[in-house]
Structure 1
Amino acid sequence: MTTPTTSKAGRNLPAAIAVGAGLGAVLIAVLTLVPMAWYGIVSVALGIATWEVCKRLRDGDFGVPFWPLLVGGQVTIWVSWPWGIEASFVAFAATVLVLMVWKLFAQGVSNAPQNYVRDLSLSVLVLAWLPMLATFGTEMVAQDQGNFRVLTLVIVVVCSDIGGYAAGVLFGKHPMAPAISPKKSWEGFVGSLIVGTVGAILCSLFLLDTNWWVGIALGPLMVIVATTGDLVESQVKRDLGIKDMGTLLPGHGGIMDRLDSLLPSALVTWAVLTILL
Protein backbone atom coordinates (compact mmCIF):
# COMPACT_ATOMS: atom_id res chain seq x y z
CA MET A 1 0.00 0.00 0.00
CA THR A 2 1.42 3.38 -1.05
CA THR A 3 1.57 6.05 1.63
CA PRO A 4 -0.02 9.27 0.38
CA THR A 5 2.30 12.26 0.27
CA THR A 6 -0.32 14.94 -0.29
CA SER A 7 -1.06 16.94 2.85
CA LYS A 8 -4.41 18.20 4.03
CA ALA A 9 -3.45 21.53 2.46
CA GLY A 10 -3.18 19.81 -0.94
CA ARG A 11 0.63 19.82 -1.15
CA ASN A 12 3.31 17.18 -1.55
CA LEU A 13 4.53 17.48 2.03
CA PRO A 14 7.89 15.60 1.74
CA ALA A 15 8.83 17.64 -1.32
CA ALA A 16 7.73 20.87 0.35
CA ILE A 17 9.81 20.11 3.47
CA ALA A 18 12.89 19.18 1.42
CA VAL A 19 12.68 22.33 -0.71
CA GLY A 20 12.02 24.51 2.33
CA ALA A 21 14.96 23.05 4.24
CA GLY A 22 17.26 23.52 1.26
CA LEU A 23 16.23 27.15 0.78
CA GLY A 24 16.66 27.77 4.51
CA ALA A 25 20.18 26.33 4.52
CA VAL A 26 21.20 28.51 1.57
CA LEU A 27 19.68 31.57 3.22
CA ILE A 28 21.50 31.00 6.52
CA ALA A 29 24.82 30.41 4.75
CA VAL A 30 24.50 33.56 2.64
CA LEU A 31 23.44 35.83 5.50
CA THR A 32 26.19 34.46 7.74
CA LEU A 33 29.07 34.50 5.28
CA VAL A 34 28.27 37.14 2.63
CA PRO A 35 25.25 39.20 3.81
CA MET A 36 25.28 41.65 0.90
CA ALA A 37 24.78 38.74 -1.51
CA TRP A 38 21.21 38.91 -0.23
CA TYR A 39 20.67 41.63 -2.85
CA GLY A 40 21.50 39.15 -5.58
CA ILE A 41 19.21 36.47 -4.18
CA VAL A 42 16.28 38.87 -3.90
CA SER A 43 17.01 40.22 -7.37
CA VAL A 44 16.86 36.76 -8.96
CA ALA A 45 13.80 35.72 -6.96
CA LEU A 46 11.93 38.90 -7.89
CA GLY A 47 12.87 38.52 -11.54
CA ILE A 48 11.38 35.02 -11.62
CA ALA A 49 8.33 36.10 -9.61
CA THR A 50 7.74 39.02 -11.98
CA TRP A 51 7.85 36.63 -14.94
CA GLU A 52 5.43 34.24 -13.21
CA VAL A 53 2.91 36.94 -12.35
CA CYS A 54 3.11 38.67 -15.74
CA LYS A 55 2.69 35.36 -17.57
CA ARG A 56 -0.36 34.42 -15.52
CA LEU A 57 -1.91 37.84 -16.02
CA ARG A 58 -1.23 37.83 -19.75
CA ASP A 59 -2.71 34.33 -19.99
CA GLY A 60 -5.79 35.88 -18.36
CA ASP A 61 -5.90 38.49 -21.16
CA PHE A 62 -4.48 41.37 -19.11
CA GLY A 63 -1.99 43.55 -20.98
CA VAL A 64 0.76 43.75 -18.36
CA PRO A 65 4.17 44.63 -19.89
CA PHE A 66 6.90 42.31 -18.68
CA TRP A 67 10.08 44.15 -19.64
CA PRO A 68 9.34 47.56 -18.04
CA LEU A 69 8.24 45.76 -14.86
CA LEU A 70 11.33 43.55 -14.85
CA VAL A 71 13.86 46.32 -15.50
CA GLY A 72 12.09 48.89 -13.32
CA GLY A 73 11.73 46.37 -10.53
CA GLN A 74 15.43 45.50 -10.64
CA VAL A 75 16.41 49.16 -10.52
CA THR A 76 14.01 49.74 -7.62
CA ILE A 77 15.74 46.99 -5.64
CA TRP A 78 19.36 47.76 -6.45
CA VAL A 79 19.39 51.55 -5.99
CA SER A 80 18.67 51.11 -2.29
CA TRP A 81 22.17 49.66 -1.80
CA PRO A 82 24.12 52.89 -2.36
CA TRP A 83 21.36 55.46 -1.80
CA GLY A 84 18.82 53.96 0.60
CA ILE A 85 15.09 53.42 0.51
CA GLU A 86 14.39 56.97 -0.72
CA ALA A 87 16.11 56.15 -4.01
CA SER A 88 13.86 53.12 -4.41
CA PHE A 89 10.80 55.35 -4.22
CA VAL A 90 12.29 57.56 -6.94
CA ALA A 91 12.93 54.47 -9.11
CA PHE A 92 9.39 53.28 -8.42
CA ALA A 93 7.92 56.61 -9.55
CA ALA A 94 10.14 56.68 -12.63
CA THR A 95 9.00 53.18 -13.58
CA VAL A 96 5.37 54.27 -13.23
CA LEU A 97 6.07 57.05 -15.74
CA VAL A 98 7.65 54.53 -18.12
CA LEU A 99 4.63 52.27 -17.76
CA MET A 100 2.26 55.15 -18.54
CA VAL A 101 4.05 55.89 -21.81
CA TRP A 102 4.69 52.23 -22.66
CA LYS A 103 1.01 51.33 -22.38
CA LEU A 104 -0.01 54.48 -24.26
CA PHE A 105 1.91 53.41 -27.37
CA ALA A 106 1.81 49.62 -26.94
CA GLN A 107 -0.41 49.28 -30.03
CA GLY A 108 1.61 51.76 -32.07
CA VAL A 109 1.34 55.53 -32.45
CA SER A 110 -1.59 55.29 -34.89
CA ASN A 111 -3.77 52.96 -32.79
CA ALA A 112 -5.74 53.80 -29.68
CA PRO A 113 -4.63 51.79 -26.62
CA GLN A 114 -7.03 49.09 -25.43
CA ASN A 115 -8.00 48.76 -21.73
CA TYR A 116 -5.47 51.46 -20.89
CA VAL A 117 -6.68 52.34 -17.39
CA ARG A 118 -7.23 48.70 -16.37
CA ASP A 119 -3.88 47.40 -17.59
CA LEU A 120 -1.89 50.40 -16.38
CA SER A 121 -3.47 50.16 -12.92
CA LEU A 122 -2.69 46.45 -12.74
CA SER A 123 0.90 47.08 -13.86
CA VAL A 124 1.42 49.63 -11.09
CA LEU A 125 -0.08 47.16 -8.61
CA VAL A 126 2.43 44.49 -9.68
CA LEU A 127 5.28 47.00 -9.35
CA ALA A 128 4.21 47.94 -5.82
CA TRP A 129 3.36 44.37 -4.80
CA LEU A 130 6.64 42.77 -5.86
CA PRO A 131 9.79 44.93 -6.11
CA MET A 132 8.68 47.86 -3.94
CA LEU A 133 7.73 45.67 -0.98
CA ALA A 134 10.78 43.46 -1.56
CA THR A 135 13.03 46.51 -1.37
CA PHE A 136 12.29 46.89 2.35
CA GLY A 137 13.49 43.34 2.97
CA THR A 138 16.56 43.90 0.82
CA GLU A 139 17.63 47.30 2.17
CA MET A 140 17.32 45.94 5.70
CA VAL A 141 20.48 43.85 5.24
CA ALA A 142 22.55 47.04 5.00
CA GLN A 143 21.40 48.24 8.42
CA ASP A 144 23.06 47.50 11.75
CA GLN A 145 22.69 43.74 12.43
CA GLY A 146 21.14 43.60 8.98
CA ASN A 147 21.70 39.89 8.42
CA PHE A 148 19.94 39.11 11.70
CA ARG A 149 17.08 41.43 10.83
CA VAL A 150 16.54 39.55 7.57
CA LEU A 151 16.77 36.21 9.40
CA THR A 152 14.17 37.48 11.86
CA LEU A 153 11.86 38.31 8.95
CA VAL A 154 12.20 34.83 7.46
CA ILE A 155 12.09 32.93 10.76
CA VAL A 156 8.93 34.63 12.01
CA VAL A 157 7.13 34.03 8.70
CA VAL A 158 8.20 30.38 8.74
CA CYS A 159 7.04 30.06 12.37
CA SER A 160 3.71 31.58 11.37
CA ASP A 161 3.35 29.08 8.52
CA ILE A 162 4.27 26.11 10.72
CA GLY A 163 1.98 27.17 13.56
CA GLY A 164 -0.88 27.82 11.19
CA TYR A 165 -0.46 24.54 9.35
CA ALA A 166 -0.17 22.43 12.52
CA ALA A 167 -3.09 24.07 14.32
CA GLY A 168 -5.20 24.00 11.16
CA VAL A 169 -4.60 20.29 10.58
CA LEU A 170 -5.14 19.33 14.22
CA PHE A 171 -7.92 21.68 15.27
CA GLY A 172 -9.19 23.54 12.20
CA LYS A 173 -13.00 23.62 12.14
CA HIS A 174 -14.01 27.22 11.54
CA PRO A 175 -13.08 28.59 8.07
CA MET A 176 -11.43 31.97 8.16
CA ALA A 177 -12.25 33.18 4.64
CA PRO A 178 -13.96 30.27 2.83
CA ALA A 179 -14.73 32.29 -0.29
CA ILE A 180 -11.02 33.12 -0.73
CA SER A 181 -9.03 30.24 0.82
CA PRO A 182 -11.27 27.39 2.07
CA LYS A 183 -8.44 25.57 3.88
CA LYS A 184 -7.54 28.48 6.18
CA SER A 185 -9.18 28.32 9.60
CA TRP A 186 -9.40 30.57 12.63
CA GLU A 187 -7.77 27.83 14.68
CA GLY A 188 -4.86 27.88 12.25
CA PHE A 189 -4.63 31.65 12.56
CA VAL A 190 -4.41 31.36 16.35
CA GLY A 191 -1.65 28.79 15.92
CA SER A 192 0.17 31.23 13.64
CA LEU A 193 -0.16 34.00 16.23
CA ILE A 194 1.22 31.85 19.03
CA VAL A 195 4.14 30.26 17.20
CA GLY A 196 4.95 33.39 15.21
CA THR A 197 5.05 35.56 18.32
CA VAL A 198 7.22 33.04 20.17
CA GLY A 199 9.58 33.01 17.19
CA ALA A 200 9.71 36.82 17.18
CA ILE A 201 10.50 36.93 20.91
CA LEU A 202 13.30 34.38 20.53
CA CYS A 203 14.74 36.27 17.56
CA SER A 204 14.64 39.51 19.55
CA LEU A 205 16.53 37.93 22.45
CA PHE A 206 19.06 35.73 20.68
CA LEU A 207 19.56 37.25 17.21
CA LEU A 208 18.92 40.96 17.67
CA ASP A 209 20.15 41.06 21.27
CA THR A 210 17.34 43.37 22.34
CA ASN A 211 14.35 43.37 24.70
CA TRP A 212 11.80 40.57 24.56
CA TRP A 213 8.94 43.00 24.11
CA VAL A 214 10.25 43.90 20.66
CA GLY A 215 9.08 40.41 19.67
CA ILE A 216 5.66 41.13 21.19
CA ALA A 217 5.40 44.25 19.03
CA LEU A 218 6.70 42.51 15.91
CA GLY A 219 5.26 38.98 16.02
CA PRO A 220 1.47 39.50 15.96
CA LEU A 221 1.72 42.29 13.39
CA MET A 222 3.85 40.13 11.10
CA VAL A 223 1.44 37.19 11.43
CA ILE A 224 -1.49 39.41 10.49
CA VAL A 225 0.17 40.85 7.38
CA ALA A 226 1.65 37.48 6.38
CA THR A 227 -1.78 35.87 6.57
CA THR A 228 -3.34 38.76 4.68
CA GLY A 229 -0.63 38.58 2.03
CA ASP A 230 -1.37 34.91 1.52
CA LEU A 231 -5.10 35.66 1.21
CA VAL A 232 -4.43 38.43 -1.29
CA GLU A 233 -2.48 36.11 -3.57
CA SER A 234 -5.15 33.42 -3.14
CA GLN A 235 -7.78 35.86 -4.37
CA VAL A 236 -5.64 36.90 -7.33
CA LYS A 237 -5.20 33.24 -8.28
CA ARG A 238 -8.92 32.63 -7.79
CA ASP A 239 -9.71 35.50 -10.16
CA LEU A 240 -7.33 34.00 -12.71
CA GLY A 241 -8.65 30.46 -12.20
CA ILE A 242 -5.26 28.94 -11.29
CA LYS A 243 -3.88 26.97 -8.35
CA ASP A 244 -0.28 28.25 -8.33
CA MET A 245 1.62 31.11 -9.92
CA GLY A 246 4.32 28.69 -11.09
CA THR A 247 5.79 25.21 -10.79
CA LEU A 248 9.46 25.88 -10.06
CA LEU A 249 9.44 24.71 -6.42
CA PRO A 250 8.05 21.17 -5.86
CA GLY A 251 5.47 21.14 -3.08
CA HIS A 252 5.29 24.94 -3.04
CA GLY A 253 4.32 26.07 -6.52
CA GLY A 254 6.22 29.02 -7.94
CA ILE A 255 8.57 31.59 -6.44
CA MET A 256 5.67 33.99 -6.03
CA ASP A 257 3.77 31.37 -4.02
CA ARG A 258 6.59 31.55 -1.44
CA LEU A 259 6.85 35.34 -1.49
CA ASP A 260 3.18 36.13 -0.89
CA SER A 261 3.62 36.24 2.90
CA LEU A 262 7.21 37.51 2.92
CA LEU A 263 6.62 40.63 0.83
CA PRO A 264 4.19 42.48 3.13
CA SER A 265 6.06 41.12 6.16
CA ALA A 266 9.26 42.72 4.84
CA LEU A 267 7.69 46.17 5.10
CA VAL A 268 6.43 45.53 8.63
CA THR A 269 9.76 44.09 9.81
CA TRP A 270 11.70 46.99 8.33
CA ALA A 271 9.37 49.56 9.91
CA VAL A 272 9.14 47.99 13.38
CA LEU A 273 12.84 47.24 13.73
CA THR A 274 13.86 50.61 12.30
CA ILE A 275 11.70 52.35 14.91
CA LEU A 276 12.45 50.14 17.91
CA LEU A 277 16.14 49.40 17.31
Structure 2
Amino acid sequence: MSDSTPPPTAAKRGPSNLRLRVIWGAAGATALLGSVWFSPWTFGLFFASVQAVMLWEFYRMMRAGGYAPATWIGIGASLLLFGGTFGLLEDGLGGIPSLDSFFNAISAVTNIGLLWRGLAILLPILLLVREMIKWPAHPQPFSNAATAFFGIMYVSLPMTLLLVVAYGGGSYDYRRIFGLLFLIWASDIGAYAAGKTFGRHKMVPSISPGKTWEGWAGGFLMTLVVGWGLKFMLPDVPLAHRLVAASVVAVFAPLGDLAESMLKRSVGVKDSGTSLPGHGGLLDRFDAFLLVLPVLALLQLLA
Protein backbone atom coordinates (compact mmCIF):
# COMPACT_ATOMS: atom_id res chain seq x y z
CA MET A 1 0.00 0.00 0.00
CA SER A 2 2.84 2.34 -0.88
CA ASP A 3 2.12 5.64 -2.58
CA SER A 4 5.24 5.67 -4.72
CA THR A 5 7.62 3.39 -6.61
CA PRO A 6 7.38 -0.25 -5.44
CA PRO A 7 10.44 -1.67 -3.64
CA PRO A 8 13.13 -3.35 -5.76
CA THR A 9 11.92 -6.82 -4.79
CA ALA A 10 8.50 -6.06 -6.24
CA ALA A 11 10.04 -5.01 -9.56
CA LYS A 12 11.28 -8.57 -10.10
CA ARG A 13 7.78 -9.97 -10.19
CA GLY A 14 6.92 -11.28 -13.62
CA PRO A 15 3.70 -11.40 -15.62
CA SER A 16 2.58 -14.57 -13.82
CA ASN A 17 2.66 -12.72 -10.51
CA LEU A 18 0.73 -9.80 -11.99
CA ARG A 19 -1.89 -12.22 -13.27
CA LEU A 20 -2.05 -13.81 -9.82
CA ARG A 21 -2.51 -10.39 -8.21
CA VAL A 22 -5.33 -9.49 -10.60
CA ILE A 23 -7.15 -12.81 -10.12
CA TRP A 24 -6.93 -12.83 -6.35
CA GLY A 25 -7.61 -9.11 -6.10
CA ALA A 26 -10.81 -9.47 -8.12
CA ALA A 27 -11.86 -12.56 -6.16
CA GLY A 28 -11.18 -10.84 -2.84
CA ALA A 29 -13.06 -7.68 -3.80
CA THR A 30 -16.03 -9.74 -5.02
CA ALA A 31 -16.16 -11.75 -1.80
CA LEU A 32 -15.84 -8.58 0.29
CA LEU A 33 -18.50 -6.53 -1.48
CA GLY A 34 -20.81 -9.52 -1.94
CA SER A 35 -20.74 -10.52 1.72
CA VAL A 36 -21.37 -6.94 2.86
CA TRP A 37 -24.27 -6.49 0.43
CA PHE A 38 -25.99 -9.88 0.75
CA SER A 39 -27.02 -9.86 4.43
CA PRO A 40 -25.81 -8.84 7.89
CA TRP A 41 -25.02 -12.49 8.61
CA THR A 42 -22.71 -12.91 5.61
CA PHE A 43 -21.10 -9.59 6.56
CA GLY A 44 -20.60 -10.79 10.14
CA LEU A 45 -19.23 -14.19 9.12
CA PHE A 46 -16.87 -12.64 6.57
CA PHE A 47 -15.34 -10.08 8.92
CA ALA A 48 -15.23 -12.45 11.89
CA SER A 49 -13.08 -14.71 9.70
CA VAL A 50 -11.01 -11.81 8.36
CA GLN A 51 -10.14 -10.45 11.80
CA ALA A 52 -9.26 -13.95 13.05
CA VAL A 53 -6.83 -14.47 10.16
CA MET A 54 -5.40 -10.98 10.70
CA LEU A 55 -4.78 -11.80 14.36
CA TRP A 56 -3.17 -15.11 13.43
CA GLU A 57 -0.84 -13.23 11.06
CA PHE A 58 0.02 -10.76 13.83
CA TYR A 59 0.90 -13.58 16.21
CA ARG A 60 2.94 -15.26 13.46
CA MET A 61 5.01 -12.09 13.06
CA MET A 62 5.46 -11.83 16.82
CA ARG A 63 6.81 -15.38 16.84
CA ALA A 64 9.28 -14.32 14.15
CA GLY A 65 10.32 -11.57 16.55
CA GLY A 66 11.09 -14.03 19.34
CA TYR A 67 7.83 -13.98 21.32
CA ALA A 68 5.48 -16.89 22.00
CA PRO A 69 1.93 -15.49 22.27
CA ALA A 70 -1.00 -17.79 23.03
CA THR A 71 -2.28 -17.87 19.46
CA TRP A 72 -5.38 -20.02 19.89
CA ILE A 73 -6.47 -18.37 23.14
CA GLY A 74 -6.18 -15.00 21.41
CA ILE A 75 -8.08 -16.12 18.33
CA GLY A 76 -10.80 -17.69 20.48
CA ALA A 77 -11.15 -14.45 22.44
CA SER A 78 -11.26 -12.44 19.21
CA LEU A 79 -14.09 -14.56 17.82
CA LEU A 80 -15.99 -14.21 21.08
CA LEU A 81 -15.48 -10.44 21.00
CA PHE A 82 -16.57 -9.98 17.39
CA GLY A 83 -19.24 -12.68 17.31
CA GLY A 84 -20.74 -11.73 20.65
CA THR A 85 -20.90 -8.04 19.75
CA PHE A 86 -22.41 -8.82 16.36
CA GLY A 87 -25.00 -11.17 17.83
CA LEU A 88 -26.07 -8.67 20.48
CA LEU A 89 -26.31 -5.81 17.97
CA GLU A 90 -28.22 -7.88 15.43
CA ASP A 91 -30.58 -9.19 18.10
CA GLY A 92 -31.09 -5.78 19.69
CA LEU A 93 -31.03 -3.47 16.68
CA GLY A 94 -31.35 -5.53 13.52
CA GLY A 95 -34.83 -6.95 13.86
CA ILE A 96 -38.18 -5.64 12.66
CA PRO A 97 -38.96 -2.33 14.40
CA SER A 98 -41.52 -2.67 17.16
CA LEU A 99 -42.75 -0.88 20.24
CA ASP A 100 -40.01 -2.43 22.36
CA SER A 101 -37.20 -1.85 19.86
CA PHE A 102 -35.84 0.98 21.99
CA PHE A 103 -35.57 -1.30 25.00
CA ASN A 104 -33.97 -4.01 22.84
CA ALA A 105 -31.30 -1.48 21.84
CA ILE A 106 -30.68 -0.51 25.47
CA SER A 107 -30.33 -4.17 26.40
CA ALA A 108 -27.92 -4.83 23.52
CA VAL A 109 -25.62 -1.96 24.48
CA THR A 110 -25.65 -3.02 28.15
CA ASN A 111 -24.79 -6.62 27.31
CA ILE A 112 -22.01 -5.54 24.93
CA GLY A 113 -20.48 -3.53 27.76
CA LEU A 114 -20.62 -6.58 30.04
CA LEU A 115 -19.01 -8.75 27.34
CA TRP A 116 -16.16 -6.32 26.74
CA ARG A 117 -15.49 -5.76 30.46
CA GLY A 118 -15.58 -9.49 31.11
CA LEU A 119 -13.00 -10.15 28.41
CA ALA A 120 -10.81 -7.28 29.61
CA ILE A 121 -10.76 -8.79 33.12
CA LEU A 122 -10.60 -12.53 32.41
CA LEU A 123 -8.37 -12.70 29.32
CA PRO A 124 -5.18 -11.38 31.02
CA ILE A 125 -5.71 -13.88 33.85
CA LEU A 126 -6.12 -16.74 31.37
CA LEU A 127 -3.02 -15.67 29.48
CA LEU A 128 -0.95 -15.55 32.67
CA VAL A 129 -2.18 -19.01 33.72
CA ARG A 130 -1.09 -20.30 30.32
CA GLU A 131 2.38 -18.82 30.83
CA MET A 132 2.61 -20.45 34.27
CA ILE A 133 1.86 -23.82 32.68
CA LYS A 134 4.44 -23.26 29.94
CA TRP A 135 7.16 -21.93 32.24
CA PRO A 136 10.16 -22.34 32.01
CA ALA A 137 9.97 -23.74 28.47
CA HIS A 138 8.67 -20.34 27.33
CA PRO A 139 10.94 -17.48 28.41
CA GLN A 140 9.57 -13.93 28.74
CA PRO A 141 6.20 -15.02 30.18
CA PHE A 142 4.88 -11.52 30.79
CA SER A 143 6.03 -10.33 27.36
CA ASN A 144 4.25 -13.31 25.78
CA ALA A 145 1.02 -12.57 27.66
CA ALA A 146 1.24 -8.86 26.86
CA THR A 147 1.85 -9.62 23.17
CA ALA A 148 -1.21 -11.88 23.01
CA PHE A 149 -3.38 -9.26 24.72
CA PHE A 150 -2.05 -6.43 22.58
CA GLY A 151 -2.97 -8.39 19.46
CA ILE A 152 -6.60 -8.27 20.57
CA MET A 153 -6.37 -4.52 21.17
CA TYR A 154 -4.49 -3.78 17.94
CA VAL A 155 -6.40 -6.06 15.54
CA SER A 156 -9.62 -7.53 16.91
CA LEU A 157 -11.03 -4.59 18.87
CA PRO A 158 -10.75 -2.14 15.93
CA MET A 159 -12.25 -4.69 13.54
CA THR A 160 -15.10 -5.25 16.00
CA LEU A 161 -15.71 -1.50 15.98
CA LEU A 162 -16.59 -1.91 12.30
CA LEU A 163 -19.95 -3.04 13.69
CA VAL A 164 -20.50 0.44 15.13
CA VAL A 165 -20.22 1.82 11.60
CA ALA A 166 -22.45 -0.89 10.13
CA TYR A 167 -25.20 -0.39 12.72
CA GLY A 168 -24.67 3.36 13.17
CA GLY A 169 -28.06 4.18 11.68
CA GLY A 170 -29.95 1.97 14.14
CA SER A 171 -29.90 -1.18 11.99
CA TYR A 172 -27.48 -2.87 9.62
CA ASP A 173 -26.83 -0.77 6.50
CA TYR A 174 -24.43 -2.16 3.91
CA ARG A 175 -24.14 1.29 2.31
CA ARG A 176 -22.20 2.56 5.31
CA ILE A 177 -19.60 -0.17 4.89
CA PHE A 178 -19.44 0.45 1.14
CA GLY A 179 -18.88 4.14 1.87
CA LEU A 180 -16.03 3.35 4.27
CA LEU A 181 -14.42 1.01 1.75
CA PHE A 182 -14.65 3.62 -1.02
CA LEU A 183 -13.03 6.23 1.23
CA ILE A 184 -10.14 3.95 2.16
CA TRP A 185 -9.60 2.89 -1.44
CA ALA A 186 -9.71 6.54 -2.54
CA SER A 187 -7.05 7.42 0.03
CA ASP A 188 -4.82 4.59 -1.16
CA ILE A 189 -5.29 5.19 -4.90
CA GLY A 190 -4.96 8.96 -4.61
CA ALA A 191 -1.79 8.64 -2.54
CA TYR A 192 -0.23 6.20 -5.00
CA ALA A 193 -1.06 8.31 -8.07
CA ALA A 194 0.05 11.61 -6.54
CA GLY A 195 3.15 10.08 -4.97
CA LYS A 196 4.24 8.47 -8.21
CA THR A 197 3.67 11.70 -10.16
CA PHE A 198 4.72 14.42 -7.74
CA GLY A 199 6.41 12.62 -4.83
CA ARG A 200 9.57 14.35 -3.62
CA HIS A 201 9.48 14.73 0.16
CA LYS A 202 9.57 11.51 2.18
CA MET A 203 7.24 11.15 5.15
CA VAL A 204 8.98 8.52 7.29
CA PRO A 205 11.72 6.98 5.13
CA SER A 206 12.97 4.76 7.95
CA ILE A 207 9.59 2.97 7.99
CA SER A 208 8.21 3.33 4.46
CA PRO A 209 10.63 4.86 1.92
CA GLY A 210 7.92 5.10 -0.75
CA LYS A 211 5.50 7.31 1.18
CA THR A 212 5.70 11.04 0.44
CA TRP A 213 3.91 14.12 1.69
CA GLU A 214 2.78 14.86 -1.86
CA GLY A 215 1.22 11.41 -2.03
CA TRP A 216 -0.51 11.94 1.29
CA ALA A 217 -1.92 15.27 0.06
CA GLY A 218 -3.21 13.61 -3.11
CA GLY A 219 -4.84 10.88 -1.07
CA PHE A 220 -6.43 13.45 1.22
CA LEU A 221 -7.88 15.39 -1.71
CA MET A 222 -9.26 12.31 -3.44
CA THR A 223 -10.81 11.06 -0.20
CA LEU A 224 -12.61 14.38 0.28
CA VAL A 225 -13.93 14.20 -3.29
CA VAL A 226 -15.27 10.70 -2.71
CA GLY A 227 -16.73 11.82 0.62
CA TRP A 228 -18.65 14.53 -1.20
CA GLY A 229 -19.75 12.02 -3.87
CA LEU A 230 -21.17 9.65 -1.26
CA LYS A 231 -24.25 11.88 -1.16
CA PHE A 232 -25.64 9.69 -3.94
CA MET A 233 -25.21 6.54 -1.85
CA LEU A 234 -25.90 8.00 1.59
CA PRO A 235 -28.30 10.92 1.05
CA ASP A 236 -29.42 10.76 4.69
CA VAL A 237 -25.88 11.49 5.97
CA PRO A 238 -25.16 15.25 6.12
CA LEU A 239 -22.30 16.63 4.04
CA ALA A 240 -20.42 17.74 7.16
CA HIS A 241 -20.51 14.19 8.56
CA ARG A 242 -19.28 12.71 5.29
CA LEU A 243 -16.40 15.17 5.06
CA VAL A 244 -15.41 14.53 8.69
CA ALA A 245 -15.40 10.79 8.00
CA ALA A 246 -13.34 11.37 4.84
CA SER A 247 -10.84 13.49 6.79
CA VAL A 248 -10.51 10.80 9.46
CA VAL A 249 -9.79 8.21 6.77
CA ALA A 250 -7.33 10.51 4.97
CA VAL A 251 -5.32 11.05 8.18
CA PHE A 252 -5.53 7.70 9.96
CA ALA A 253 -5.48 5.23 7.04
CA PRO A 254 -1.86 6.12 6.13
CA LEU A 255 -0.94 5.95 9.82
CA GLY A 256 -2.39 2.45 9.98
CA ASP A 257 -0.28 1.48 7.00
CA LEU A 258 2.84 2.99 8.58
CA ALA A 259 2.18 1.21 11.88
CA GLU A 260 2.01 -2.17 10.15
CA SER A 261 5.10 -1.38 8.07
CA MET A 262 6.97 -0.57 11.28
CA LEU A 263 5.77 -3.86 12.78
CA LYS A 264 7.01 -5.86 9.79
CA ARG A 265 10.38 -4.12 9.76
CA SER A 266 10.81 -4.66 13.49
CA VAL A 267 10.48 -8.44 13.13
CA GLY A 268 12.17 -8.72 9.73
CA VAL A 269 9.32 -9.92 7.50
CA LYS A 270 8.21 -8.58 4.12
CA ASP A 271 4.51 -9.52 4.24
CA SER A 272 2.20 -10.36 7.13
CA GLY A 273 1.27 -13.66 5.47
CA THR A 274 0.25 -15.42 2.27
CA SER A 275 -3.54 -15.38 2.67
CA LEU A 276 -3.93 -13.51 -0.64
CA PRO A 277 -1.39 -14.81 -3.19
CA GLY A 278 0.33 -11.89 -4.86
CA HIS A 279 -0.96 -9.45 -2.23
CA GLY A 280 0.55 -10.72 1.01
CA GLY A 281 -1.65 -11.26 4.04
CA LEU A 282 -5.01 -9.94 5.16
CA LEU A 283 -3.28 -7.71 7.70
CA ASP A 284 -1.46 -6.08 4.77
CA ARG A 285 -4.80 -5.40 3.05
CA PHE A 286 -6.79 -4.20 6.07
CA ASP A 287 -4.10 -2.35 8.04
CA ALA A 288 -5.74 1.02 7.34
CA PHE A 289 -8.87 -0.11 9.20
CA LEU A 290 -6.99 -0.58 12.47
CA LEU A 291 -6.53 3.13 13.22
CA VAL A 292 -9.47 4.50 11.21
CA LEU A 293 -12.19 2.46 12.91
CA PRO A 294 -11.53 3.46 16.55
CA VAL A 295 -11.73 7.15 15.61
CA LEU A 296 -14.85 6.73 13.44
CA ALA A 297 -16.54 4.62 16.11
CA LEU A 298 -15.79 7.23 18.76
CA LEU A 299 -17.22 10.01 16.59
CA GLN A 300 -20.28 7.86 15.84
CA LEU A 301 -20.90 7.25 19.55
CA LEU A 302 -20.47 10.96 20.34
CA ALA A 303 -22.75 12.13 17.50
| TM-score normalised by the chain length of structure 2 | 0.80
Note if contact 1:140-1:150 (Cα within 8 Å) is conserved in structure 2.
Answer: yes
Indicate yes or no: 2:291 matched with 1:264. yes
Question: Which residue of structure 1 lines up, in the alignment, with residue 277 of structure 2?
Answer: 250
Which amino acid letter does the alignment assign opposite residue 176 of structure 1? M
Question: Which residue of structure 1 lines up, in the alignment, with residue 81 of structure 2?
Answer: 76
Unpaired runs of 5+ in structure 2? Answer: 11-16, 89-107
Q: CA deviation at 1:197?
A: 1.7
Question: Which residue of structure 2 lines up, in the alignment, with residue 156 of structure 1?
Answer: 183
Note if contact 1:174-1:186 (Cα within 8 Å) is conserved in structure 2.
Answer: yes
| Equivalenced residues, count | 267
Indicate yes or no: 2:157 matched with 1:132. yes
Question: Which residue of structure 2 lines up, in the alignment, with residue 203 of structure 1?
Answer: 230
Q: CA deviation at 1:131?
A: 0.9
Question: Does the C-alpha gap of structure 1 residues 18 and 192 become closer, same or farther in structure 2, counting only changes over 3 Å?
Answer: farther
Which amino acid letter does the alignment assign opposite residue 152 of structure 2? L
Which amino acid letter does the alignment assign opposite residue 265 of structure 2? R
Of residues 17, 20, 25, the one that matches 1:20 is 25
Q: CA deviation at 1:48?
A: 1.5
CA distance in 1, matches of 2:26, 2:234: 20
CA distance in 2, matches of 1:123, 1:75: 15
CA distance in 1, matches of 2:178, 2:124: 31
Q: CA deviation at 1:53?
A: 1.7
Of residues 35, 38, 46, the one that matches 1:41 is 46
Question: Does the C-alpha gap of structure 1 residues 104 and 275 become closer, same or farther in structure 2, counting only changes over 3 Å?
Answer: same
Which secondary structure state, in structure 2, belongs to the residue aligned with residue 79 of structure 1? Answer: helix
Q: CA deviation at 1:215?
A: 1.9
Which secondary structure state, in structure 2, belongs to the residue aligned with residue 237 of structure 1? Answer: helix
Indicate yes or no: 2:5 matched with 1:8. yes
CA distance in 1, matches of 2:296, 2:116: 18
| TM-score normalised by the chain length of structure 1 | 0.87
With 164-173 and 93-102 compared, the bigger mean Cα shift is at 93-102
With 76-85 and 181-190 compared, the bigger mean Cα shift is at 76-85
Which secondary structure state, in structure 2, belongs to the residue aligned with residue 105 of structure 1? Answer: helix
Alignment RMSD: 2.3
Note if contact 2:203-2:213 (Cα within 8 Å) is conserved in structure 1.
Answer: yes
Of residues 30, 33, 38, the one that matches 2:35 is 30
Question: Does the C-alpha gap of structure 1 residues 203 and 41 become closer, same or farther in structure 2, counting only changes over 3 Å?
Answer: same
Which amino acid letter does the alignment assign opposite residue 147 of structure 2? L
CA distance in 2, matches of 1:149, 1:271: 16
CA distance in 2, matches of 1:20, 1:196: 21
Unpaired runs of 5+ in structure 1? Answer: 1-6
Question: Which residue of structure 2 lines up, in the alignment, with residue 171 of structure 1?
Answer: 198
CA distance in 2, matches of 1:181, 1:224: 16
Note if contact 2:78-2:152 (Cα within 8 Å) is conserved in structure 1.
Answer: yes
Question: Does the C-alpha gap of structure 1 residues 214 and 18 become closer, same or farther in structure 2, counting only changes over 3 Å?
Answer: farther
Q: CA deviation at 1:233?
A: 0.6
Indicate yes or no: 2:174 matched with 1:147. yes
